[in-house]
Amino acid sequence: MSALPEILIRDMGFDDVDAVVALERASYPFPWSEGIFRDCLRVGYYCCVVELDHLLIGHAAMSSGAGEAHVLNLCVDERYRCRGIGGALLEHLLEFAQSVGASDVYLEVRPSNTAAVRLYQSQGFTQIGIRKGYYQAVGGREDAVVLRRKMGKPRR
């Protein structure tokens, strides 16, 4: 694995949505829509982007409340994967979750996305269940693996 490039992780704004949607469409057969990203921003979910030399190469969205947080979306441009960017983005989300007092962070992941499963496990997520037929898939549906990470006490 090569060294982590100089990246900037910053809050996502409405002006970023077009680039985020383009990255989603390039990355997934069933991407989130522009409306979903706009709704996430509108309702106050934590959304951020990753930039490398002013180029948007990743994004994430997280909801939080009632002492827990939920990673809703995490995406890194295929050309920049396996360079530590996904890990840095996930760590950023975990720091945000800690800052808002979340004691648990949850997410769903396709079991076929083995790279993502390994990333989440490397950051302390453990499987707590399966959601049958959760994801749209070519030729039907795919289950989701439900993962949770227990957070430590918030730093004061």
45-89 pLDDT, tens digit each:
999 999 999 999 999 999 999 999 999 999 999 999 989 999 999
In a domain, 156, yes or no: no
Residue 87 included in any domain: yes
pLDDT beyond 90 at 2: no
Which tokens sit at 123?
């950051």
For 31, the domain range is: 8-150
Inter-CA distances, 114 with 67, 111, 145, Å: 29, 6, 11
Residue identified by tokens 């030729």 is 139
| Residue 80 placed within a domain | yes
Does residue 122 lie in a domain region?
Answer: yes
Q: Total domain count for the chain? A: 1
In a domain, 155, yes or no: no
2 found inside a domain: no
Q: In this structure, what CATH number is given to the domain that contains residue 138?
A: 3.40.630.30
> Could you give the residue numbers annotated as active site?
108, 120
Question: Could you report the per-residue pLDDT of 93-151, keeping only the tens digit for each?
Answer: 999 999 999 999 999 999 999 999 999 999 999 999 999 999 999 999 999 999 999 99
Structure confidence by residue, pLDDT tens digits, 6-37: 999 999 999 999 999 999 999 999 999 999 99
What letter does residue 31 receive in the DSSP assignment? Answer: P
SS3 130: strand
Looking at the domain assignment, is residue 14 inside a domain? yes
Give the number of other CB atoms < 10 A from CB of residue 42. 10
Task: Return the amino acid letter for 30.
Answer: F
pLDDT category, 3, cuts 50, 70, 90?
A: low
36 sits in the region (left: phi over 0; alpha: psi -120 to 50; else beta) called: alpha
Q: What is the pTM of this model?
A: 0.92
Residue 85 within a domain: yes
